[in-house]
Amino acid sequence: MSVQKRLLLRWLCLQVIFATVFSKDWEAEVEPKIKGLVSSCVVVPCTFKYPGEQLPDSRIRAIWHTKEKMGDIIYHEDRTKVLDSFKGRTTLLGRLSEQNCTLEIDGVRDHDNGPFCFRAEIPTFNQYSFKESCVTIVPTDVADKPNLDKKGFLEEGVATSFKCSTRHTCPSHPPTITWSYPNSDAIVNNKDIGHGIWEVESLLTFIPEEKDTNTELTCTINFHGGKHSTIQTPLYVKRKENMSHIIIPVAAALGTALLFGVMCFFMSKNYKQQIHELQSGNGIWNQMYRMSQRFRSVD
Ligand SMILES: *[C@@H]1O[C@H](CO)[C@@H](O)[C@H](O)[C@H]1NC(C)=O
């Protein structure tokens, strides 16, 4: 290989290395708008990229500030720099070394609208405020009404399931779900449905008893921070029909009818035969009658 070719190859290799290391620009992906239940928490999903090599947590400083004013800081590792109204309410949940800038705002207040923007500072290198991808919080005072299955008649003694669910934006302290059904076991599931929204559901399985009929099944969702929402559905339980209750009388009735039918058939057959015999003159009475007539004629 000529010297020129070798140099060219080396240069190409360097290009590839530089391209992979330095091609990334400052970039952040933040959910633009997210509902937050007042008094509960809201978790804002956020990921970011920065030029240069990957750095450990300690080399990156994370800051969240209002879009309006860079100095209005709502999250900083140095708490003294945080606005009084946000002190103690913001936590960085994401790991910076994993380029995760996810923020939790706890005790959401009516005026926590934002927009809020993430800022990354790499002290020996550079810093950047991602002002083109900020989040607006929409504080809501009332929790969404949960969803609960509606069912028709339940059968006594036959296991049945009800599902109660709701959406929320506080996955770091998910809501808890309770049921009015005594001694009930329920399976709880929390799932991420994207855009910072989570769905929590509880599946209750129980065996209804006759005494449950016309009672209300209540599902209560308790949110972090103290708010709750509830929903009810009436229960109607059908008594278990023991099949012998039906089969025995029906079988008895059918049997009686059949016996009666057979008896009628033979009786009518017998009766018809007797009539026939009487009419044809071969019956015993006819013969006796004829015989008596004969004796009389002999006289
Ligand atoms: C970022 O961190 C949060 C909190 O730990 C986590 O729930 C989320 O899955 C992370 N996002 C990514 C893309 O890894």
CB of residue 94 inside a 6 A radius of ligand 1: yes
CB of residue 166 inside a 6 A radius of ligand 1: no
State the distance from the centre of ligand 1 to the C-alpha of 12, rounded, in angstroms: 36
State the distance from the centre of ligand 1 to the C-alpha of 170, rounded, in angstroms: 13
Look at residue 115 in the predicted model and tell me its pLDDT: 95
Structural domains of the chain sorted by starting position, each given as residue range(s) with its CATH number in brackets: 21-140 (2.60.40.10), 147-238 (2.60.40.10)
- Tokens 């069912």 -> residue: 151
Beta strands in 152-194 (DSSP E): 153-155, 160-168, 176-179, 185-192
User: What global pTM score does this model have?
Assistant: 0.72
Look at residue 86 in the predicted model and tell me its pLDDT: 96
Q: What is the Cα gyration radius of the chain?
A: 44
Tens of pLDDT, residue by residue over 21-55, are 444 688 889 999 999 999 999 999 999 998 888 88
Mutate to test the pocket of ligand 1, among 102, 191, 198 (most ligand atoms within 8 A of CB): 102
Look at residue 275 in the predicted model and tell me its pLDDT: 63
3-state secondary structure of 248: helix
* Helix %, strand %, coil % of the chain (to 5): 30, 35, 35
171 CA: nearest ligand 1 atom = 7
Look at residue 166 in the predicted model and tell me its pLDDT: 96
Q: How many CB atoms lie within 10 A of CB 148?
A: 20
State the distance from the centre of ligand 1 to the C-alpha of 106, rounded, in angstroms: 17
Query: In whole angstroms, what is the distance from residue 31 CA to residue 28 CA?
Result: 10
Buried-exposed string 216-229: b where 16+ CB fall within 10 A, e elsewhere: ebebbbebbbebeb
3-state secondary structure of 176: strand
CB of residue 230 inside a 6 A radius of ligand 1: no
Tens of pLDDT, residue by residue over 98-145, are 999 999 999 999 999 989 999 999 887 787 888 888 999 999 999 989
